[in-house]
Amino acid sequence: MARCMLIDSKLPENFWAEAISTANHIRNRCPTKALNGEVPYTKWFNRKATVIYFRTFGCKAFTLDKKPKGKFKPRSKQSIFVGYSEESKAYRMWIPDEKKIVITRDVKFVEHDQEEEDPSDGEKPIEYVLIQTPVKYDDEIQNHHQIPNVLNNADEILPSPPPSDSISSSGSTGNGIERRLEDPIPDRQIFNEELQLEEPTPESEPLEHQQSSRTSSSNDDESNEAGIEMKRGPGRPRKIFGQRGRPRKGYNMVPVNQPPPAPTNTEEIHNDEESISETGSFIEEMACITDQPDDGDIKSQEWRDAINDEFASMLKNKTWILCDRPSNRDTITSRLVLRTKYKKDGSIERRKARLVARGFNQRPGLDYDETYSPVIRLGTIRTMMALAAEKGMKVHQLDVVTAYLNGDIDKSIYMEIPEKLKESLTELVKSPDSLVKKEAKKMLQELSNGDKVCHLRKSLYGLKQSGRQWYKKLHHALVEMGFKPTPSDPCLYVKQK
């Protein structure tokens, strides 16, 4: 039975186990001679077996996709029925695109897959004539019910096109089109795919609104043609209507070198919420800008100081020690990530450098085991802020500098010598900090003695387990201070008096 099912379904032999399981499921619900014509399922469970849910093995089906990737993506996945679930009243469905079997009840079966009929045996197939020339607006056209009248008068609206195979297979010209549109041919239909009606512009529309629609859309073109670098000027953006979708924003574009004009009374009147939202978005965008300057810019004093500060913090924390290159272990690499931080007004606040390990080179089981680190829930933050506001309490916030560097590493990880380390150590030898000066001098001497690598003692940004190690270090410190994590959120610590 299983062999016949597998052959009839045209599935590969890899599904032999599914076929045997399905056949066994069916045989247990069929009468058998061994029990004198009784059903094994009824004999064992003492209740009548039902077969109304039986489906054809290997038939096509569509399984409900409960988590589609997009709003306009299909809500089902094409699948193949391969059996029944023994634990629930569900089906086992094979999804070829994902190469996995899912157990679900939300299935639409297509047991009788009708093949396409031969056009020569049935009715004559429908031929479509695609007309892609837009139709001019006419005051007499008020709704879509009058569109066929426009097609019947296509000789007055559409110009006669040259001969084309896509319009007429018999090589007809414009007269052929006119005949197709006027003569009632039952087995042919006209399909206009891009029939568009242009809405008339009201004569009473203000000139300022008309110009605003054109100004915002042509800002980039004008700046590119003139060769002038433009930026957003002061004032709130104007909303532009008249097009599909949500209204667009039209900004006042001014040259970069031109000083901003004084705000007018109209520009000063604005909504507080929109102003705060726009300011916050601007600050967030400016704060997230990541610069990777050229080699010439890195040599500037600002970037050199930023790199020296990063290596100085690692020397203080004793992030690694230098050792000979191991013969039985692979090493990971690292890179310097350079960022420019900005103030609220857009001016440069400072340069920042961060050494990031390339954690994708780590091997599971050898370089790391567990990587999970809890994150506070958004509802917890909202609840605490609401309580603080109701009780009139003060909320304090702190930032831990190079937080991940405080976590102790739990594995032996070896890293190649970071770029710019030797140049930075040469300058840190002159540091006023005695600890940094001592460690820099010691490490600089070790670098000159053979092939050295960094044996990590502390966590680095980019390692798989860095977040977990920092959480364990912080958890241990808070527990020693008398704090305890709450059952509802492990990231919320409470100290009871």
The predicted structure's pLDDT at residue 125: 52
Under DSSP, is residue 184 helix (H, G, I), strand (E, B) or coil? coil
Q: What is the mean pLDDT of the chain?
A: 76
Q: What is residue 295's predicted lDDT score, i.e. its pLDDT?
A: 53
d(CA 304, CA 312): 12
Nearest to 339 by CA among 286, 406, 401: 286
pLDDT-derived band of residue 81, with 50, 70 and 90 as boundaries?
very high
Q: Tell me the Ramachandran region of residue 467: left when phi exceeds 0, alpha when psi lies from -120 to 50, beta otherwise.
A: alpha
pLDDT digits (tens, 9 = 90+) for 155-188: 544 455 554 444 444 444 444 444 444 444 444 4
Q: Are residues 323 and 464 in contact, defined by beta-carbon separation less than 8 angstroms?
A: no
Q: Which residue has the higher pLDDT, 201 or 412?
A: 412
Task: Report angle CA 226, 231, 232 to the nearest 5 degrees.
Answer: 130
Band the pLDDT of 82: cuts 50, 70, 90: very high
Q: Where are the beta strands (DSSP E) in 132-234?
A: 188-191, 230-232
Residue pLDDT, tens place only, 466-481: 999 999 999 999 999 9
Which residues have C-beta within 8 Å of that of residue 280, sequence separation ≥ 6? none
Q: Report yes or no: 225 and 208 within 8 Å, Cβ to Cβ.
A: no
CA-CA distances (angstroms) from residue 83 to 67, 353, 357? 23, 58, 48
The residues, ordered by sequence, that sit 6+ positions from 452 with a Cβ below 8 Å of its Cβ are 322, 323, 324, 325, 417, 446
Cα–Cα distance, 428 to 440 (Å, whole number)? 6
Q: How many CB atoms lie under 10 A from the CB of residue 41?
A: 18
Per-residue pLDDT at 214 exceeds 80: no
The residue-averaged pLDDT of 394-414 equals 89
- Percent of the chain at pLDDT exceeding 70: 67
DSSP structural state of residue 383:
H
421 has pLDDT over 70: yes
Could you tell me the pLDDT band of residue 126, with boundaries at 50, 70 and 90?
Answer: low
pLDDT higher at 460 or 192:
460
Give the DSSP H/E element, type plus range, for residue 78: strand 76-84
Q: Is the pLDDT score of 360 beyond 80?
A: yes
- Model confidence at 484, pLDDT cuts 50, 70, 90, reads very high
